[in-house]
Structure 1
Amino acid sequence: MDLLGQFHKKNEVIAAAVFISVINMDREEAERVITEQLHQIHSFADQHSIVIIDSYIEREGSEAERNRLREDASSGRYRVLIHCGDIDSDSFYEFGVVDINVLQYEGK
């Protein structure tokens, strides 16, 4: 059984955070990527009855959002981190947070 199936089997509400990183992009490209990824993530969340409680957008030159994300993860604010693409997810495992890359679920 996959991860989402395990959560749903336990009838748990899946409280999730969204993480999007748009570093190394110009402003126009970053806004396009943010819009596309938010659409993908929210569609995925709707399909799987996931409640998104917060979004963290990492932009060029600022680590404030990643720091806020880590603080909220360490406090147990959410158990799932949803994203598109690769992130340094090893840094969130220590808090018991599971990351879901929606791109891995496309077409399933």
Structure 2
Amino acid sequence: MSFDAKRLLTDRQVEEAAGMFFALADPQRLRLLILLAGREISVSELATAQGEKLSTLSARLKVLHAARLVGRRREGKSILYHLADDHVLALVSSAVDHACETH
């Protein structure tokens, strides 16, 4: 994976990237992304794992979905969430790895 700093980006692309960092800036939303790494989980399972009310969790997932960091699908009465793609997994992985480094 590489970043081309010379690549020209539109204002919209930069704003969308900034929106992703905004969504990632909340520790509880970041925890959700970590829980979703490599798997799909229902809203009720996420609420149990986080020890939160469904309404609070839904609000967090709404922010992550709006930032295109998570995807969702319905299965019967359940809504299952997953990371949107491998870019999100790499972004979260890099942030966590960097935070775990000793300085």
The structure richer in strand per residue is 1
The structure richer in helix per residue is 2
Q: TM-score by structure 2 length?
A: 0.32
Based on CA coordinates, which of the two structures has the bigger radius of gyration? 2
Q: TM-score by structure 1 length?
A: 0.32
